[in-house]
Amino acid sequence: MMSKKYITKSFIVNFLIFFCIFLLDRFTKKIVIVLNEKNFGEQIYTSSYLNIQLIWNQGIAFGLFSNIENFLYNIISLIIIIIIFVIIIMILKNNGIKRMSLIFILGGAVGNLYDRVLFSAVPDFLDFHIRDIHWFIFNIADIFISVGVILLIFIDLFGNKEKENE
């Protein structure tokens, strides 16, 4: 049984943030999957800068390694699980904006891992573009992972200078 000293107000807030990220990711993916089935695979939404169209990403970030065999797919999934455990340890050892950045990454990573296990692929659907120049298609989990990584980079670039000046 978990000791009461570990279940603090901070723990509850951090867990709720993680869980909200996970739920938002699940909710948006479910909506897109249902709309895709109703539209028989056609684009769900199209505009000058944003298309919403479901694709199933069997690779890793931005579709890398999407044509891999099952053995490699399972190895990559195992590596992702190990990384998730490392992130959890890092969350426990950090605080402030660094902890929040790691929680963002964790929420997105768990959301995408859930899909890898459930569907053997991750549903991506946000397609930003300018005319015929398209960015990689991604999902809500990818947004939180990216924001978390960008925040960690800023912390590393600018946070260390503050410590050096002290």
Active-site residue (options: 124, 127, 132, 156): 124
Q: Enumerate residues 6+ apart whose C-beta is below 8 A from 45.
A: 51, 52
CA nearest 105: which of 32, 17, 12? 17
Is 165 a member of any domain?
A: no
Residue 7 phi/psi, 5° resolution?
-95, 85
Active-site residue (options: 25, 115, 127, 142): 142
Is 132 known to be catalytic? no
- Output the tens digit of pLDDT for each of the chain's 166 residues: 455 666 788 889 999 999 999 999 999 999 999 999 998 777 888 889 999 999 998 876 655 556 667 778 788 889 999 999 999 999 999 999 999 999 999 999 999 999 999 998 999 999 999 988 888 899 999 999 999 999 999 999 987 655 554 4
| CB-CB neighbours of 30 under 10 Å | 11
Is 87 a member of any domain?
A: yes
Q: Confirm if 107 and 25 have CB atoms less than 8 A apart.
A: yes
Is 142 known to be catalytic? yes
Domains of the chain: total:
1
**Domain span at residue 79?**
10-42+70-122+139-160
Q: How far apart are CA 150 and CA 148, in angstroms?
A: 5
Is 37 a member of any domain?
A: yes
Is 58 a member of any domain?
A: no
Is 20 a member of any domain?
A: yes
Is 19 a member of any domain?
A: yes
Q: Confirm if 95 and 18 have CB atoms less than 8 A apart.
A: no
Q: In a 3-state reduction of DSSP, which class is residue 35?
A: helix
Is 134 a member of any domain?
A: no
Q: In a 3-state reduction of DSSP, which class is residue 134?
A: strand
Is 5 a member of any domain?
A: no
